Each structure stands twice: as C-alpha cells, then as structure tokens.
C-alpha cells in the first residue's frame, strides 16, 4: 500500500494555483530588485533569489490559506 493515499494528495488545481501565485510574487519582486542587482555581487543576487522564492511561497500559502 502506498505511503500517501489519494485522499491525502492536494488537488492539481490547488498546486497550480499556489505555483501561479508564487510566480507572480517572484516576478514582481524581480521587477523591484532588478535596478539594483547590476551593482551587487553574485552571492547577494543568489540570496535575493532565495528570499524571493521563500517569501513568495509563504505569501501564496497565506493568501490561499493552504498548507503544503
């Protein structure tokens, strides 16, 4: 028997919606950060990318009131 039953799985629509909301957040974040990234070191840009993904995921979960 599989470890994760079909009833426990998140619906595909919910997964896609969370991904779209996260993508929109990250796109807006990139648009705001873009003007200053030319003057930053690569490690700072990598840190900003992490912050964008992390906060985007939190934002999507809060907006959709869903736990993944």
| Among 10, 51, 46, residue whose Cα is nearest residue 29 | 51
CA distances from 27 to 1, 11, 30, 34 (A): 41, 25, 5, 10
> Tens of pLDDT along 15-45?
788 888 888 888 888 888 888 777 778 788 8
Q: Are 11 and 66 in contact (CB under 8 A)?
A: no
* 0.75 surpassed by pTM: no
Q: Where do the structural domains in the chain lie, given as residue ranges? A: 24-68
- Specify the 3-state DSSP secondary structure of 6: helix
Mean pLDDT of 46-53: 84
Question: What distance in Å separates the CA atoms of residue 24 and residue 16, rounded to the nearest whole number?
Answer: 12
């Amino acid at each position: 028997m599989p470890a994760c039953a079909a009833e426990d799985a998140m619906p595909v629509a919910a997964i896609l919606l969370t991904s779209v909301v996260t993508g929109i957040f990250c796109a807006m974040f990139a648009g705001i950060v873009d003007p200053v990234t030319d003057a930053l070191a690569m490690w700072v840009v990598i840190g900003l990318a992490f912050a964008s993904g992390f906060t985007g995921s939190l934002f999507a979960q809060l907006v959709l009131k869903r736990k993944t």
